[in-house]
Copies of this chain bind each other. A is one copy, B any other.
Amino acid sequence: MTQIVPVILCGGSGTRLWPRSRKSRPKPFIPLIGDTTLFAATALRCSRDAGFADPVVVAGAPHVALVESQLPDPAAGTIIVEPEGKNTAAAIALAAARLPVDAVMLVCPSDHHIGDWAAFRAAAHAAAALAADDWLVSFGIAPTAPETGFGYLKRGGAIEGSGGYRVERFVEKPDLDRARAFLADGGYSWNGGIFAFRAGAFLAELAQHRPDIADAVRAAVAAGHADGQRFHPDPALFATIVGESVDYAVMEKTARAAMVPVAMDWSDIGNWQALHAALPQDAAGNVVRGTAELRGCRNVMVETDGPRVSVVGVENLIIVVDGNEVMVTTPGGAQLVGKLQGAVNQ
């Protein structure tokens, strides 16, 4: 069984989960589901007990202290400190450049929820085996709704003996009709941003399709310095990197794109509506965290860090009290929460 190096990306700001998610304690680092943060859960899913190597965490400088305080084993693994966010192609390349070329990386966003860890680990090992053969492997997450907020993968031919498939094509966020057709078709999966790569294979593909990013990352790493567990790329060289997603930079261009299908109770917790859906609800669809009284309410979520919230006769509403902010949105409005002045100007 190929040993896997978890590469945990901490770039998600989670402004759509404002005011719980704040610049100073963004989405991965707050307990959104249960008492564990999404970051800590991501690290725990990839622990050594489950056959993984120590993790490489890629995080922005303001969040390194949060990473160190929430890593299950703070002494294990390394943290690559990004002077600024440069999107996922650069973040993954940073980790790849610091690993042996034959290391198999499992790239994990730290701001998603996964309910079924056994399914996750089985898919991780299947993906790692394909990655060791120089496939660039996406997790293909079994869709459960016609989501228009995600990219999709169209499954191609099976890769014999692997449990995986070629990716026939990547599909941008579809409209609702297409999303429904994808769901009915059965051959489409959500692209959840979880990938397995051999480090050398990833860097070679990046050098082929985006040599500018590959060169700039290599230079920033070569001129960087380690400080205990932390590694700091050279900030001036890092600043020259063009920010690009790994999907655009590599996955949609490579001839070696593969996918492993997985159903693992996944959610990107992309907004308050998604968080509401991921939490246990009472018979009326209500979710309460903190002190609240609901009278004649249906499908209402209340989250408060202190003040009591009393709600009368309301349906389909999300109410969040956090510090000196109160946020109230319909499920349909949840996508716009990140545009609120409070979320933008924090």
Contacts and interface: CB of A to CB of B under 8 A. Distances in A.
Contact of A336 (B313, B317, B323, B341): B313
A245 interface: no
A330 interface: yes
**Number of copies of this chain that the complex holds:** 2
A312 B334 contact: yes
A327 B309 CA distance: 6
A174 interface: no
Contact of A330 (B313, B329, B340): B313
Contacts of A334: 312
Contacts of A321: 307, 326
Interface string A297-310: 00000001011111
B295 A336 contact: yes
Contacts of A329: 311-314
A12 B326 CA distance: 30
A170 B130 CA distance: 86
Contacts of A311: 327-329
Tier of interface size on chain A: 20 to 34
A157 interface: no
Interface in A190-239: none
A315 B339 CA distance: 19
Nearest to A331: B313
A171 B323 CA distance: 50
A309 B333 contact: no
A326 B340 contact: no
Contact of A328 (B306, B310, B333, B340): B310
Minimum-distance CB pairs A-B, first 5: A313-B333, A312-B333, A312-B329, A313-B330, A309-B326
Given A310-B337, A310-B341, A312-B330, 8 more contacts: A295-B333, A295-B339, A312-B329, A312-B333, A312-B336, A313-B329, A319-B328, A328-B328
